[in-house]
Structures are given as C-alpha cells and as structure tokens.
A and B are shown apart, each in its own frame.
Chain A
Amino acid sequence: MTSTRRVFMKSGAAAMLSLGFAPGFLTRAAAAADARKRLLIAVFQRGALDGLNMLVPFGEADYYRLRPSIGIARPGRDNGAVDLDGFFGFHPRMAPLKPLWDKGMLAAIHACGSPDSTRSHFDAQDYMESATPGVKSTRDGWLNRYLQAINSTTPLQGVAVTRQTPRTMQGRAATLAFPGVDEFAVRDTMGSARAIEDSYSRTTDSLLSASAREAFQAMGVLQKATAGSYQPANGADYPRTPFGRALQEIARIAKADVGLEVAFAESTGWDTHVNQGSDNGQLAGRLDDLARGLDALTRDLGDRMADTVILTMSEFGRAASENGNGGTDHGHGNAMMLIGGPVNGGRVHGKWPGLAPEQRFESRDLAVTTDFRDVFAEVVTAHLGADRSALPKIIPGYAKPRPLGIIKT
C-alpha cells in the first residue's frame, strides 16, 4: 500500500510540476517522502585499491612474509594497524573511520571481487560497473538498471558527481552527472539563456522538449533547494580535494530533499605499482583522503545516515606480495566497505581464504570468496527496497545472489 501511495505522490507531483503549478507543500511532501527514505552513495576507487593494506590481516603470518617492506605493523607497534577485531585492522590513516566501526555503522567485506580473473583495469571496471563480469556487451550500468526497475520519475533520483556519466549510471533511466550543483545551470553569458530555454518549450520536437523540460525542472528544483553557499553541518571538514568536494556536493543534494536515491562519486590514484609506501607514502595519502572524506560526509549527513548506505568498491585487489619496486601489481580479491545506519557493522564479513601459497588465487593473489554481485544485490534489495523479483533485471545473468547479512533486516 505504502509503495503504491509513494508512486502516486511521486508521479502526481511530477505531473503538476511539469504543468508548472504544483503547490509548494505537495512538491515538498512528495520529495520528502522519497528523499528521506533511503540513499545509496556509491564510491568507486579507480585504479585497483590495495585492500590488503587498507584492511590489514595482521593476524595472518603470511601477510608479513609477503610484504616485508610495505606491510603495516601489528597493532600496538609504532604506526601499527588500528585493531578492529583481533585479526583485521585499519591502515593507521583510516583511523578517522574507527568511531563508525565502534558504533556498529561500518562493516567491511574482505576477499570480495569478481568471478572473472581479468587483471585489466579497463575490463574489470567495466564488469563491476555493468555488474556483468565476463560480458562486455552490456550497455547500461547496474545503478541505472535499479532506477529503471523502480520506474524512476526524475533524474534527481540518480546523480553522479562526476563530469561524465559513469558506466555504473549509464542507461535508459534519466540521471544527472555534473561536477557540482553550481555547474548544472544554464549560464547567461550572452543574455540568450532565456531565449534558448523558450525555444525548447515551443518546439514540436518531443524528444528534445521532454529532455529540456526534465533538465529545467531538475535545475530549478536543485537551484532553489540549494540556494546560497553551502555550510557543512556538525563541523564536518571535507578534504579540499576533488573527492572531498564531490562528497560535499552529494551531501548538499541529499539535504536539499529533491528525491536523491543513488549517488555516485569516484576517487582515483589507487594504481600503486611503484613505491606505494607503508604507514606513510602514496597509498597512505589516498587512504587519508578517503577516510577524511567519508568521515566528513557521515558527520555532515548527521541523522540522515540512519537511512543512508555508503558503499566503496574498486575493480580488483592487488597482488599479495610486494613487487621489486616497493609497490604491488594487479591482483584479484579485495575489500569493500559499507557505512551507515542500516549496515550490520562492527564486523568484517565474508570468508577469509588465507594467504598461504595454496590458498591464493593462481598462487599469487588474495582469492575471491564473495562475489561482488552478492553485495550489490543485498544493497538494492535490503537497503534500497527493490523487490527480489527485480534482481534478474538489475543484475542480469546472476541466478542466485547469496544473502550476506551485511544490511540489517
């Protein structure tokens, strides 16, 4: 019943909006009914994160044998790992996220990844974003297919804070991609913005007029709802980096209550083949940006985190052993994190396969014991509320996603 009502309110308000006379209270009510519901923020770490140094298996003797110079010391030692459960620990620069772990709002899943063995960034990102490993002909991304499955009514339901629509969000459902709210505006540099807008309302070209209407509506709603300069709440201090800025824009849109359901941001620079460092250095810098960014985002969203899940992912992990250049080459299994009120946190989920030679994938990489599609499936059903019967559409070709218990039910 509630879902029917929700759909009605949504399309009703949208229809009125398009006629230009939706009463403000109804617009706000419809938007709020959705927006305050559930939010997924997907974070893609492009370049292949070294999950073994982000979420350190310090209880595993082989870890230190494989990584004599880049390994993170055991907890309690100088610059050692931040102990989580006596076996796994955070890289010391991930310490800002420890309070979320303690509150039970942060879960990790280790040895997670793709059934496809490719070590090509290009293929692996493609497979993860389309959620069809091994199949290259898939045109749309899994989050777009989620929006298709729920018959999304406004592009504001899916926003990527990136310059181009990421593969994850590409597809038939209307979404938005912009590097920031302020960039999503028709600038009136020539005094002709108005005339251009008008020409779209006059045209008989239904495809273009519909898209333009969508754009102007979304723009109008967004600009009104985000007017003025943005002040992060609760003392949230975003890193002044592209990633930090993207997260801040996501918080800004989420708090504008314009119907945001899935958001996307990306973080780059994870391809650490050479001199990745240990507790300090290249990887530490990336993890610092990640942890401070996510910490700020969760603070800024405040009580909205009760309905929000942040999901981090990267195309594959890195080789278990360090290479001759103080870095790590492309590997296989990796770690993902989930943060938010709905998360069954304070736990590292998944089956740990071990790092002994015979336990490794192709005797070199962390093996995959959890298919990343299981995580996606659980997030779209248990968190976003999609019906399980919609899964074949959202994650095609995956017969039976395994329930993981990462999202509370």
Chain B
Amino acid sequence: MTHRGILAGTLVLGAVLAGSTLGAAGIPKDKEAVEHALNRLAYGPKPGDVERVQEMGLSNWIDRQLHPDGIDDSALKARLPEQPERPAQFADQMEARRWGRQSVQALSAEKVVRAVYSERQLEEQLVDFWFNHFNVFAGKGRTSEWIADYERHAIRPHVFGKFRDLLEATAKSPAMLFYLDNWLSADPAAAERQQELQQQRAARLGVANPNRPQPQGQQRRRGLNENYGRELLELHTLGVDGGYTQKDIIEVARAFTGWTIAPQNQKAAGQPGVPFGARGRRPQLAPGAVQEGEFRFTPMLHDSGEKIVLGHKIKAGGGIEDGEQVLDLVARHPATAHHIAFELAQRFVSDEPPKALVDRAAKKFRDTDGDLREVVKTIITSDEFFSARGAKVKTPLEFLASAMRATGRDMPGDGRQLLNALMQMGMPLYMCQPPTGYDDTAETWVSAGALVARMNIAQRIAGPQQATSIGGPEFQRR
C-alpha cells in the first residue's frame, strides 16, 4: 500500500510511470475509460468485459496486459486451428508453393481466432502492429513458406522486449531476407568469384549449365541489392525523414551482403532426382560463416571493405559483424526512437498523435535502450491516450474481431470462414504487398465500397438487433 501510495504520488506530480506495476492514479476509472481501453488495447469488449475490468480495476487490467505471461490463455489453445507441419523437404517447387498457401491460410485463421478469443489482447494487438511494421507479403515467391515461422519466432517473442532484438530477428528471418531480396545481395566482385567456383563445380559434376537462365526465385546473385538497406532505414528504423542519404543506403546494403538463406541445394533444385529443398550433404561451413536456423552468413558473398554508415566508420575486414554493427547503430539512433514512438502513438492514440506524447515516448525509448514494454506503457497510460476516445477508425480486422466479440456468439468454424470478409473489406491477411504494411489512418479504411462491405458483414455475423449498431457509424470507431 505504501509502495502504491508513493507511486501514485509520483504520478500526481506528472512524472512518467516507473517500475513494473502501474499506479492507480492517472488512470481514470469510469465506464467510458474502460470501454475505451478495451477498444484500443483489446479487440473491443465482449459482453461482460467492461464490468469485469471495472471490478479488477483498469490499471490492474492494463498492467496484466503488459505482462501477458501471467495471463492464463489455455482456453485459446483449444480453439486454434491446426497448423500444417512443414515437411523436412519438398518434392518440388509446386509442393513448396502448395504448402506455403496452406500455411498462410491456417495462420490467417489463427490470427482471427486469437484476436477474438485470446485473453492476451494487447499482445495480439502488438503482434499485429509489429508484423505490419516489418511487413512481408505472402504473395511474393517463396515468402509464404516462412511466414508462420516469421510471426511465431521473429515477431511474437519480442513485442514486449528490446527493439534491437526484434530488429535482428527480422533481419535474419528467411521471410524478410526473401521478401526484400537481401538473400540475393552480394559484393559484385565476390559474386564473380562465386560464379567461377560454381562453374568449376558444375563442370566437374557434369550438371546444369550455369549460364542457363535460372528458374524463378533462384536468380543468380548478380551483385548489390539495395532493397533491404533502403527499407531498413526508411521503414524499419529511422523513418523517411530520418536524415540518411542514398550513400547511406548503399553502405548499409554493402554491410548486409552475404546475409542470406541457407541454400537448400538451390543449384541442384529442379534437376531430375534431386528433391527440391533437400539438404543433401550437410555443408561444411567456411571460416567466418554463420548458420542460425535457415539464416546463413556467407563470407564469400560479403563485401568486407570499409563502410561509412550515418557518419560511423565500419572497419574493413569484417564479416557478419558489419551488419550487426549497422543494426546497433540504427536501433539506437534518435530518429528511430522518434519514428517508433510516433507509429505506436498513431496506432493507440490518434492518426496525428500529440507531439508532446510522441516526444515522451521517444525519450522513454532512448532511456530504456528501446524497451518496447516501457514505450507502450508510456503511451497507453497517458492522458493523451484517455482523452482520444473514438479518434480512430477500426481497421477491417479490428472491425471484424470486435464485431465477433460484441455478439458473444461462438465463431462459426475455425476462423477460415471469416477470412473472406477481410478480403472484401480490403485487408486480406498477410497479403499486403508493399513493405510499408497497411496504413493505419482513417482515410485508408473509410471508402464507399468498404463501408458497404462492413454493413453487409455486420448483418451476416450479428442478429437483427446488433446488426444495426455493428453496421452503424459509432461501431466503426474505436
């Protein structure tokens, strides 16, 4: 109690929340505040939720949501659709594609089920936020094969962790490496060296003519690919106005040369008798090579010359640590703190979040070395958060999940039946093509066609009484 009292006192003084428990002061207690929190931090209230949260206290509920490991979510487990297991190897590219499609379907259904039924609602909101921040598109080539793994292992474990860890997990994920082409990026000189070697090897084994056009998705490594370098700076970290130059992009791209996907006998793929994706002999790793899961650092493809990134020198002669140094640099750059703070505030508060709040959240990011739990806490316990009721328009996923929750009805089937509705509203899950992810502002989601779709979906999932409110204007906001 005394402890609480002291904390509350600090809050009254307007200081930023500290410690792992929330103080009770500063968090309003009224019903509207509870509804607001459930609309923003969760996918809307289920029948009885408002009363339950009021009973346990809103600040207590927020605190629990910030520490989801302590929330029992076993009821969810029973509802999760079965996920197809990834075979050790694929017979051919067609089978790999087919599996990728099935996997994305199952993952999409799982996402809807989680949004509706998970007790760890803030975690689900944040997984959605961070996936979208580090968006990959299931429709690009082989990306779909790795998407489930990407969400499970690169995104989800880090949403309450350190930004630097989250960043590295995405940088090394096959999904991101493939989607933004970094797996193909190589020091042009090194690429020539490697090609020679491949030609010699091919001549020795008497297999494929290496000059033959390569099948899709197996393009020869031609040289430097700036795609990841650019998006890393523009979208993942510093932000478009983050003060970097085209030269920085190239230097960053050079630092990431050799960050690739462990070859699954790519050279032999498609050749008779060699199953696609077969590991074959366990390759002997070259000195300096690193393998973590399907991530591979290949020194032969790496440009080990000196680089200057954002004014910092990265010494010549480096290997995988060149890219890691870049991650250190950009994760701790003040522009990144601001960019992430802005996006989180835009997600949780308003399309144009108050500057003072963004500044406070950015400072928290810098002070805590990018502790995402602390940054989120700063935002969702702020006065600005509580005074922004109804300021956001729900995304189609938020609309659908909150509608399902509001009805209190049991979901038909295992979630797959609702995926079509998301497509009709323009938000097919895992199918956002540009690396920017889905936009999180009202103008994106409010259009004539989309509203009509919402009205029809409301009538499809709710009874006559509720359809009117769920299809109506108030329900489109959160």
Contacts and interface: CB of A to CB of B under 8 A. Distances in A.
A212 B468 contact: no
B383 to A, nearest CB: 23
Contacts of A323: 212-213, 215
Given A126-B434, A193-B459, A329-B216, A120 B181 contact: yes
Contacts of A119: 219
Given A137-B240, A137-B436, A205-B477, A329 B451 contact: no
A37 B197 CA distance: 62
A192 B423 CA distance: 23
B448 A196 contact: no
Interface residues of A, number: 54
B449 A177 contact: yes
Given A196-B455, A209-B473, A329 B213 contact: yes
Contacts of A200: 472-473
A330 interface: yes
Interface string B143-184: 000000000000000000000000000000000000001000
Nearest to B143: A122
Contacts of A319: 213
A119 B393 CA distance: 37
B468 A192 contact: yes
Contact of B426 (A164, A186, A197, A273): A164
A208 B446 contact: yes
B297 interface: no
Contacts of A163: 423-424
A187 B456 CA distance: 6
B449 A215 contact: yes
Contacts of A402: none
Contacts of B83: none
Interface stretch (B16-24, B134-142, B304-312, B322-330): B134-142
A273 B446 contact: no
Contacts of B468: 192, 195-196, 199
Chain A binding site: helix, strand, loop or mixed by DSSP?
A: loop
A172 B439 CA distance: 13
Interface string A208-233: 11011011001100000000000000
B476 interface: yes
Contacts of A184: 449, 452
Nearest to A194: B468
A136 B435 contact: yes
Contacts of A1: none
Contacts of A364: 213
Contacts of B426: 164-165, 177
A320 to B, nearest CB: 10
Interface in A157-208: 163-165, 167, 172, 174-178, 184-193, 195-197, 199-200, 203, 205, 207-208
Contact of B467 (A192, A197, A212): A192
A215 B451 contact: yes
B447 interface: yes
Contacts of A187: 456, 459
A242 to B, nearest CB: 15
Contacts of B442: 207
Contact of B447 (A137, A174, A273): A174
Interface residues of B, number: 49
Contacts of A122: 137, 139-141, 433
Nearest to A138: B434
B374 interface: no
B464 interface: yes
A189 B456 CA distance: 8
A248 interface: no
Contacts of B436: 136-137, 139
Contacts of A193: 455, 459
Interface in B272-312: none
A361 to B, nearest CB: 12
Nearest to A189: B459
A285 interface: no
A206 to B, nearest CB: 10
B191 to A, nearest CB: 14
B128 interface: no
Q: Output the residue of B139, B231, B439, B448 with the most chain A CB within 10 A.
A: B448
A212 B472 CA distance: 10
B9 interface: no
B55 interface: no
Contacts of A276: none
Given A199-B472, A323-B213, A329-B214, A192 B464 contact: yes
Nearest to A362: B222
A185 to B, nearest CB: 7
A334 interface: no
A118 to B, nearest CB: 9
Given A177-B449, A178-B449, A192 B216 contact: no
A172 B446 CA distance: 11
A176 B450 CA distance: 9
Given A122-B139, A137-B240, A190-B463, A199 B473 contact: yes
A190 B240 CA distance: 47
A192 B433 CA distance: 36
A324 interface: yes
B69 interface: no
Contacts of A321: 213
Q: Output the residue of A126, A155, A178, A205 with the most chain B CB within 10 A.
A: A205
Nearest to B469: A199
Contacts of A126: 433-434
Contacts of A219: 448, 452
B28 interface: no
Contacts of A196: 455, 458-459, 467-468, 471-472
Contacts of B193: none
Contacts of B471: 192, 196, 199
B234 interface: yes
B428 interface: yes
B459 A190 contact: yes
A190 B464 contact: yes
Contact of A120 (B140, B230, B443): B140
Contacts of A176: 448-449
B201 interface: no
B460 interface: yes
Interface string B83-122: 0000000000000000000000000000000000000000
A136 B471 CA distance: 35
Contacts of B472: 196, 199-200, 203
B410 interface: no
Interface in A55-94: none
Given A172-B443, A178-B449, A212-B451, A205 B213 contact: no
6 contacts: A137-B436, A203-B473, A323-B213, A329-B213, A330-B216, A364-B213
Given A122-B137, A184-B452, A205-B473, 11 more contacts: A122-B139, A122-B141, A139-B436, A163-B423, A163-B424, A176-B449, A193-B459, A196-B459, A199-B471, A205-B474, A329-B216
Please give me the 8 A-B residue pairs with the lowest Cβ-Cβ distance, nearest first: A215-B448, A199-B472, A196-B471, A203-B473, A190-B464, A122-B140, A208-B473, A195-B468
